């Protein structure tokens, strides 16, 4: 009845010294490498995830199967944990179809359409928020929708 499902994907990036906003916005997303965590980045991701969960308690962090990832990619368990350090938040099963991934320097927000739910993700005032990247060096701001 609803036909094909599609999604709207938003990529939110931090400003970077020496790069224009246009360069950052149009650059290909970098492939995830095996890198050491930076404590400030890890803390920022945790704070943003916590704020999002407070705003919408239906969000749940995805639990990565690091052992399975390590076997599949033929890397060590420690390398798998370093490679997949991003935080992925998913709405409830059968919910509003929102997925948020928080990386060190950017975030990805996906809105699925064609999902049968009483409150659609994009138009819901309760779970809706205006997202914007900050030129003041913060990762993201959340401002309640009017």
Each residue's pLDDT expressed in tens, for the chain with a length of 146 residues: 445 667 788 888 888 788 887 777 777 665 567 889 999 999 999 999 999 999 989 999 999 999 999 999 999 999 999 999 999 999 887 777 889 999 988 888 988 876 554 444 333 333 333 333 333 334 444 444 43
pTM, rounded to two decimals = 0.71
What pLDDT is attached to residue 31? 59
Mean pLDDT value across the chain = 76
Q: Which of 29, 89, 17, 10 is nearest to 53 (CA)?
A: 89
What pLDDT is attached to residue 117? 46
């Amino acid at each position: 009845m609803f036909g094909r499902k599609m999604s709207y994907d938003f990529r939110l990036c931090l400003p970077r010294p020496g790069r224009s906003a246009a360069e950052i916005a149009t650059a290909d997303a970098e492939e995830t490498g095996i890198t050491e965590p930076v404590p400030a980045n890890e803390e920022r991701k945790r704070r943003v995830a916590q704020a999002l969960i407070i705003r919408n308690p239906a969000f749940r962090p995805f639990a990565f199967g690091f052992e399975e990832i390590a076997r599949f990619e033929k890397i060590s368990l420690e390398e798998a944990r370093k490679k997949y350090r991003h935080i992925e938040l998913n709405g409830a099963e059968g919910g509003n179809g929102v997925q948020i991934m928080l990386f060190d320097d950017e975030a990805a927000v996906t809105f699925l359409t064609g999902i049968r739910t009483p409150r659609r993700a994009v138009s819901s005032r309760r779970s809706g928020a205006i997202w914007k990247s900050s030129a003041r060096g913060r990762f993201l701001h959340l401002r309640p929708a009017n």
